Amino acid sequence: MKLSSELLLTFLLNAVWQVALIAALASFGAWLLRDAAMRFQHGLWVAALCLGLLTPLATAYTTLPAHVFPTQSELNITNPISISSIPVPFDETPATSSAFQLKNELAFGLLTVFAALLLFRSVRLIGAWRTTRKIRSSTVDLDTDERIERIVLQCERVLRLRVGRVRVCRSESVTVPITIGLFRPVIILPAALARSGDEELLTSALGHEFIHVARHDYVLNFLYELLYLPVSFHPAAALLRRRIKQTRELCCDELVAERILNAEAYARSLVALAGSAPPLRRLSVTTTVGIADADILEARIMSLLSRPKMNRHWKKSLLLAVAVLLLVPSFAAAAFAMRFELANTVQDPAQQEKEIVEKRKTEQKMMERSPQVREELLRKRDMEVEMQATLVRLARVTMDQAIQIATSQTPGKVVLCNLGAKGWEEPGKLGKDGVVFYNVVIADENTPGASTHVWVNAADGSIIKTEKELPRKRSSENP
């Protein structure tokens, strides 16, 4: 539980600056590509969203140690025999000294807020999907109309889509054309538009939606929403998501003007279709894609009417430069990542003693009730004694010497010193990579109840690791 919490905290707190960095780099790259085809800008923003999630994830994975060195309170042991029977891993790198420790209350608050936001976004996405399903259930087939059939056949031929693959229908519950369907695409026209006699308007609407189908925008949009969920707390991530939607519509506009209808006629149709759309934003949130997704009508019209052309050589150079600009800093961000840990707490000695007494009583009752349990417990105790004897034989540094070494680095009163090991090959035999150590607990005079754990190598007297523990709140203080 502690490891997963630290992993999530490291992801969240590094995402705060890494997502902002990636969004800033993507914005600069989009400015460099302002005269290139809009599909390159769209690909840039999609890559930025993917990196915005993958970079903090990779950072969290690489910054946490392979093993977390457990403290005495985590192992729930207080005597030398029990500690020697448990393999205790340690990391030779001083990871704890380079990590930022967060108080348990603060960490719990951050994780709670993140979980609440993630739940809210997930519920909203599920609600949008259900709304989309309702819209689909309200559709009816179009009446036989030669004009619409001719436009559909033209779009299928130009975009090389299988004839009859896309279903075109109408609905009274939509005000603008939309496209839905993961595997079976459906284009839904507003009932008023389907009855309209304006062939240019119908060609623009159907052409735009057929482009969405050819580009698989509905499926990709759903995937982008899933990628956005873990970083949806970040305003920069919201910017990336918004830019993806905007550039997607601009890409479709470019393709419609290139393959289906001339730019001027299509621009006039966009203005007419925008007039029938709800003001500012949709009346209800859905997972659909459609011609009115991006609230950038002026930018779309300007893009259609003034389409700059870029030299092919410069375009390749710029694409390479933008790719390097986005990828290299994103990969390098892991080297400057911060690692966050939960502050450890010291178990109250009275509570420790109480747990030991309860444990012994439980074992005694189990031994009295079952001969098999008695035999197993006695076998484990003999094994622990054998392992403890092995530790004493392998320890070249005495306990007094270990205490002197620990207090020379961290002065204070020693409250506990245990002999332990990691890397058992078998009971009573330490493996080649095994390590015997002393766990010296030193009280912190400045903070009542706090202490410092110092692990001393029992073979050569070197200090393996030092870790500070904060006092645990007494149970009587809890409500």
The structure tokens listed for 462 are: 């070197």
pLDDT tens-digit map of 357-380:
776 677 677 666 677 767 777 777
The structure tokens listed for 253 are: 């506009």
* DSSP conformation letters of 61-128: HHHS-SS----HHHHT--SHHHHHTS-----SS-TGGGSEEE-HHHHHHHHHHHHHHHHHHHHHHHHH
Q: What is the DSSP code (8-state) at residue 334?
A: G
The C-alpha atoms of residue 388 and residue 428 are separated, in whole angstroms, by 8
Is residue 52 helix, strand or coil? helix
Neighbours of 30 (CB within 10 A): 19
pLDDT at 85: 34
In sequence order, what are the beta bridge partners of 300? none
pLDDT at 69: 39
Neighbours of 446 (CB within 10 A): 7
pLDDT at 305: 83
pLDDT, mean of residues 96-100 = 52
pLDDT at 157: 92
Mean pLDDT, the chain, rounded, equals 79
* Domain regions of the chain by residue span: 345-477
H or E segment and range at residue 11: helix 2-32
Nearest by Cα to 193 from 85, 103, 272, 91? 272
pLDDT tens-digit map of 112-151:
999 999 999 999 999 989 988 898 898 998 877 788 889 9
The C-alpha atoms of residue 258 and residue 310 are separated, in whole angstroms, by 16
Q: What are phi and psi of 427, to 5 degrees?
A: -55, 125
pLDDT tens-digit map of 53-86:
999 998 888 766 543 434 433 333 333 333 333 3
pLDDT at 7 over 70: yes
The C-alpha atoms of residue 247 and residue 238 are separated, in whole angstroms, by 14
Q: Report whether 155 contacts 207 (CB < 8 A).
A: yes
pLDDT tens-digit map of 457-468:
888 888 888 888
Query: Per DSSP, which regions of 360-471 are E strands?
Result: 414-426, 429-443, 451-457, 463-471
| pLDDT class of 285 with cuts at 50, 70, 90 | low
pLDDT tens-digit map of 150-205:
999 999 999 988 888 899 999 988 888 999 988 889 999 998 888 877 889 999 99
Residue 275 neighbours by CB under 8 Å, 6+ apart: none
Verdict on whether the full-model pTM lies above 0.85: no
Instruction: Give CA separation, 345 vs 74, 101, 123, 474, in Å.
Output: 9, 12, 36, 11
pLDDT, mean of residues 289-296 = 77
Q: Report whether 276 contacts 192 (CB < 8 A).
A: yes
pLDDT at 442 over 50: yes
Is residue 154 helix, strand or coil? helix
Question: How many Cα atoms are found within 13 Å in the side-chain-facing hemisphere of 14?
Answer: 32
pLDDT tens-digit map of 232-264:
999 999 999 999 999 999 999 999 999 998 989
| pLDDT class of 422 with cuts at 50, 70, 90 | confident
Question: How many Cα atoms are found within 13 Å in the side-chain-facing hemisphere of 444?
Answer: 16
pLDDT at 397 over 50: yes
Architecture label for domain 345-477: Roll (3.10)
Q: Report whether 366 contacts 377 (CB < 8 A).
A: yes
The C-alpha atoms of residue 39 and residue 43 are separated, in whole angstroms, by 6
Quote the Cα angle for 355-389-413, to 5°.
55
pLDDT at 16: 93
H or E segment and range at residue 170: strand 167-171
Q: Report whether 297 contacts 270 (CB < 8 A).
A: yes
